[in-house]
Amino acid sequence: MDSSAAFDILIIGSGPAGAHAAQSAIASGLRVGMVDVGQTDTHYAHRVPSLPFTQIRQSDPKQKEYFLGDNIEEVFDKKRKAGTHLTPARYHMIEKMDELFPTRTHNFFCLQSCAQGGLAAGWGGNCFTYEDCELKKIGLSSNRMRFFYDEAMAEIGVSAEPASDLYPSVGTFPHALPALQIDTNTESIVNRYSNNKEWFSRNGFCLGKSPLAVLSRRQDDRGPNPYFDMDFWADINRSVYRPRYTIEKLTREPNFHYEPGMLAKSFHETTAGEVAVHCQNIDTDHAQLFRARRLILAAGAINTGKLALASAQAYSPRLPLLCNPNYWVAALNWSQLGIPARDERYSLSQLTATLRTSNDPDYVVGQFYSYRSLLFFRLLHDMPLPPALGLLLLRLISSSLTVINMHFSDKPAPQHRWLQLKKGPTADELVLSASYTPNELTDRENQLRKFLRCLFKLGCLPFRIVRPIHGASIHYAGTLPFSEQEQPFSCHPSGRLYGYKNVYIADSSPWRFLPSKGLTLTIMAQARKVAAEVSSELKNETPL
Ligand SMILES: Cc1cc2nc3c(=O)[nH]c(=O)nc-3n(C[C@H](O)[C@H](O)[C@H](O)COP(=O)(O)OP(=O)(O)OC[C@H]3O[C@@H](n4cnc5c(N)ncnc54)[C@H](O)[C@@H]3O)c2cc1C
C-alpha cells in the first residue's frame, strides 16, 4: 500500500461541498488535501463551437458528433440513467458510475457524479438562500450563515433581480449581478402575471426571474453569458458556475493538494489521533492511504452515508434518505403560438414561481424553462404520433412551449425512504428504496392542482404532466441526520460525525428537512462554515 503525506485537513469530494470547504480551509493557511474521483471531459467539450444554437443547427456539418454523441443509441438508452440535462458533454459525470458506485434499487433514481465538480458539473445553477426558520428545520444554526452565503455567492457569481415578489421566500441577493435577460416566451408570461398580481397574491403565488449562478457581467476569468442557448452543451465563457473553476484556482495555492483518480473506500481514527482514509487508485487499482488531523466528508449525501456505513462495516442499519419529489409540466403559452421567438437566450431556468398552499412556511417551487435546444427530439420520441406529424406539431409549438419543473419539500420517513449497505458479488453495494404514503401523494396532487390553476391564469395550458420516479430531482440529503444526542450514524450540530473525534461532514447528509428550493447554495455556505470552524479549532491545537 502506498502511503501519502499527512494533511491538516483532508476532504473527500470536489463537488460544491468539497470545493467550498477547501477554499475556506485554505484561506487559514493549513495544509489541505482533497481526494476525488475527479473525471473530466476530454472528448466532447472542445468539439462544440462557440456559436449560437441556431447558427450551429444551420451550418455545422459536425453537429451530430456533440448533440447526439458518438453512440446514438445512448441518447435513448434509459439504462444509462442520463436525464435529459446530461448531454454528451456531461457523460463523463456518469462514465464509471455503475462500476464505482454500485447500487440496487427498483424505485429510486440514483445519479452519482464521478466528475470533478460533482453533480454541479451539470447543474442548472438555480440559487436560493434559506430563511432562518428553514435552517432551523434542517438542523443548521443560522449563526453566521448569512456571512457564509455571501462568501459563497461572491465565489460563484449570482445574477438576480434587485427586488422581486419572490423575496425573501427564495432568498435575498443584495450583492447580485444584474439579472439575465429572459426570452420572449417568458416575457409574455411575466406580463400576464403583472396584470393580475392581486389574483396571484390572493392565491399565494409569486413569480420572478430565477436567481442563477450565471454571470451577466465579467468576473475574473469568467465572462458573461453569450445568450447562445448552448448552456447544456458547453461551458462557453465559463459563465455558468462549475466547482471545478474553484478547484483549478485552488491548485495554484502552495498549501493545497488535489488527488483525482482516487476512490475513498473507508476511514478510521488512529491511536495517534489522526484520521486514515483508505483509497483505491481508479487507474491502477492500488490501495493508497491518506492521513490527516481532520477529515471532512463532502462526497454527496448518498456517498457520504455509504462511507460512514462502510467504515463501520455496518450492513444492517438503514439510513434515512431525503430527496425533493418533482413533477414536470409541459404547457403551451397560447399567446405566443406561431409567433417566432427571439433567438438570443440562455438555456437555464428563466423564471421561478413559489406557491404557498397552507399556513405551513413551506413552498412548492416551480422553475420555468423555454424548451428548445435541449434534445427536443426526445419529446418527439415520446409523442404518440407518427414522426412526420409529431415533428410538424413540435415546430409549430416550439416558440410557445414552456416546461415547468415543480419541486416539493421532503421530510424523513425512514420506513419508506432509506438506503442500506449490502455485500455485493465483487464490492459493497448500496440498496436504495423510496415510496410515499397515500397521504403524502394526496397532498402533492392537491398542491399540483392549485399550481395548475395559476398556470392557466398565466396563459399556460398544461398538456402533459410527468411524475418521474423518486430521486429524479437529484437533490439528495438526510442520510446522517443532525441530532442533539449522540447516536450511531448521526451528526453533532457542529457537523462532527458521532463516534469520531475528527470526522466532519460538509454536504447535505445531516439535513433533517429538505426545502423545495434548490439546496446547493446552502450546501456551499454550510461547507464553508464547517471548514472555517474546523480550521480555527486546528489552529488553536498543537500539531501532532
Ligand atoms: C442536471 C442537474 C441539475 C441540477 N440543478 C440544480 C440547481 O439548479 N440548483 C441546485 O441547487 N441544485 C441543482 N442540482 C443538484 C446539485 O448539483 C447537487 O445538490 C450538488 O452538486 C451536491 O453537492 P455535493 O458537493 O454535496 O455532492 P456532489 O455534487 O455529488 O459531489 C460529490 C463529489 O464527491 C466525489 N465522490 C463521491 N464519492 C467518493 C468517494 N468514495 N471517493 C472519492 N470521491 C468521491 C464525487 O466524484 C463528486 O466529485 C442539479 C443536479 C443535476 C445533476
Q: With helix as H, strand as E and coil as C, how does 117-170 read? A: CHHHHCCCCECCCCCHHHHHHHCCCCCCHHHHHHHHHHHHCCECCCCCCCCCCC
Q: Which atom of ligand 1 is nearest to the CA of 264?
A: 42
Give the Å distance between the CA of 111 and the centre of ligand 1: 9
DSSP states of 179-224: PPPP-HHHHHHHHHHHHTHHHHHHTTEEEEEPPBSB-SS-BTTB--
Determine the Cα–Cα distance for residues 25 and 317; give it in Å rounded to an integer: 33
pLDDT digits (tens, 9 = 90+) for 24-54: 999 999 999 999 999 999 888 888 999 999 8
Q: Which atom of ligand 1 is nearest to the CA of 304?
A: 38
Structure confidence at residue 141 (pLDDT) = 92
Q: At what angle do helices 520-539 and 145-156 cross, to 10 degrees?
A: 110
Residue environment code for 80-109, b if the CB has 16+ CB neighbours within 10 A, otherwise e: bebeebbbbbbbbbbeebeebbebebeebb
Residue 307's pLDDT is: 98
Cβ atoms of 6 and 293 within 8 Å: the answer is yes
Ligand 1 center from residue 154 Cα (angstroms) = 20
Cell numbers for 299? 462526497
Q: Distance between CA atoms of 192 and 464, rounded to whole angstroms?
A: 22
Q: Give strand ranges (E) for 363-466.
A: 364-370, 401-407, 417-423, 428-434, 460-466
* pLDDT, tens digit (0-9, with 9 covering 90-100), for 172-202: 898 999 999 999 999 999 999 999 999 999 9
Would you state the pLDDT for residue 187?
95
Residue of 214, 235, 303, 509 to test ligand 1 pocket, by largest number of atoms within 8 Å of CB: 303
Residues of the chain with pLDDT below 70 are 1-5, 72-84, 359-361, 373-385, 542-544
Task: State residue 161's pLDDT score.
Answer: 96
Residue whose Cα lies nearest atom 39 of ligand 1: it is: 299
pTM: 0.96
Closest atom, ligand 1, to C-alpha of 265 = 41
Question: Probe ligand 1: pick from 119, 504, 530, max atoms within 8 Å of CB?
Answer: 119
What lines the ligand 1 site, CB under 6 Å?
12-18, 35-37, 85, 111, 113-114, 118-120, 122-126, 262-264, 298-300, 303, 307, 474-475, 507-508, 518-520, 523
The answer to whether 408 and 444 are in contact (CB under 8 A) is yes
* Cβ 100 vs Cβ 427: under 8 Å: no
* Average predicted confidence (pLDDT) for the chain: 92
pLDDT at residue number 66:
87
Q: Do 470 and 325 form a contact (C-beta atoms < 8 A)? A: yes
Per-residue pLDDT at 1: 46
pLDDT for residue 76: 59
For residues 280 and 265, the answer to whether their CB atoms sit within 8 Å is: yes
Q: Cα(476) to centroid of ligand 1, in Å?
A: 9
- Looking at ligand 1, which atom is closest to the CA of residue 125? 8
Contacts of 344 (CB under 8 A, 6+ apart): 52, 181, 183, 227, 229
The predicted pLDDT at position 81 comes to 52
Distance of CA 62 to the CA centre of its chain: 31
Ligand 1 pocket mutation, candidates 99, 123, 259, 514, criterion most atoms within 8 A of CB: 123
